[in-house]
Structure 1
Amino acid sequence: MSLIKGAVTVVSGASSGIGAATASRLAAMGANVVLLARNEDKLKQSARACFSIVSTRGAVGAQ
């Protein structure tokens, strides 16, 4: 059992680069990911990518 699954995680700089990759990986591991960034458009893209990962895995409660 993963310690990450179900945990609430906060990723700063989640709109690109390492932050976006970290957010995606945490979402894939089952974490509830809070994304923070300065660029709203890129942040929305990153959030959609995380949501896509979660919804393809069949997670419940993804928003």
Structure 2
Amino acid sequence: MASGKKDKAKGAASQSVGKLKEAAGKVTGSGKTEAKGKAQQAKGGMQKGVGHLRENQKKQR
């Protein structure tokens, strides 16, 4: 099981890559790439949320 900090870091990285993909899609006019970037950003946000939950769970113990 990954730690909360790892999940948060991976989520932030995924969001950054997603932002780059979205921007590349806009520049090139590729709606598909832009959509993939938005989806990756959402996935990263969810992963960061899981990291926050895991850290809070550890604090409560």
Greater fraction strand: 1
TM-score category of the 2 structures, normalised to the smaller one: 0.3 to 0.5
Greater fraction helix: 2
Q: Which has the larger radius of gyration?
A: 2
Q: TM-score, normalised by structure 1?
A: 0.36
Q: TM-score, normalised by structure 2?
A: 0.37
